[in-house]
Structure 1
Amino acid sequence: MQHKKPWITHSSKEIYSNPWISLTEHDVTNPGGGQSIYGKVHYKNWALGIIPLDENQNTWLVGQHRYTLDEYSWEIPMGGGPLEIPKLESAKRELKEETGLTASKWTEICKIHTSNSVTDEVGIAYLAEDLTDGETEFEETEDLQIKKLPFKEAVAMCDRGEITDSLSVAAIYRLARILNL
């Protein structure tokens, strides 16, 4: 089914840009006919999350202090991947960096728009299986704690509100459905 586009853009002006995001202000006519502005945050990377799962249904979470929230956050291993590089290539790099793990089997399990009212960011989550241990390769901005736990416990952490990152929650619940948990 084709939907009409009810917003009319008259002009656009970039307000801010850095290597990760840009902010554009659009002069628009909204669906009700009113004139207004709309701000859009454009992400220059994919948001990529990975759920590593071993043969015993254990997974790994990473914990870190998130500057934007000024809070500690437990999440699935994740990071950004430049839009011009294949998503899976970047996901493999992120898993290795944050956990030291490599995987020989990869399955895309979900795609989300992280906040479609203000941003065009797309999050992709993968299931990584057939795992091999290795050394982490943290980036300068990462001070991570790594926790191995049963996947069912990660689901319970979401249920209790202990995991709040949107891509982590979506991916964990999606995988729980796939595994019929």
Structure 2
Amino acid sequence: MPEATHHLKNSSDDTLLALYRKEGNLEVAGELYNRYMPLVYGVCLKYLKDREESRDAVMQLFEKLVTVLREHDIANFKSWLYVTARNHCLMQLRARKSRQQKEMPDFFMENELALHPEEAPETEANLSRLEKCIETLAAEQKQCVQLFYLKQLCYKEISQVTGFEDNRVKSYIQNGKRNLKICMEQHG
């Protein structure tokens, strides 16, 4: 083991932080980070519950670390790193939740299905109710809702398929969604 590497391994966190702030040597930051990589991975796995995503988060945190360590004075590196890792994961979870909400039709989010997705019988009942409610829609609403949510077509594409004007398509979807919500609540 080279003398410099041996010296880094035996240095305290505070010494390594000061050295990295002074010199910007990535080997110093790497030594500091390697000490706590299992901790960071464990935090990420706890929050993200996915090994691959957790490994990616560990790498993203290291990339962030090399910049942040030079800009901020950190008193207790281990605690700071734990909080930073946790916050990084929480931000990823928020972003994931936001993406999922954008991908899911609002009428799914407005009923109890979103609260307990692991309960398969309840999910089946909700889907069954939804199918029945879709059948109660006016023909234009039904067609536009199915094309928009199930086939994932945009307003223009729906206009081309149906021959309806864009503003009619939008109206049919909005009214259909409202009617579906009402129907789901009445038959809940």
TM range (shorter): under 0.3
Higher radius of gyration, 1 or 2: 2
Q: Which has the higher contact order (CA 8 A, sep 6+)?
A: 1
Question: Per residue, is there more strand in 1 or in 2?
Answer: 1
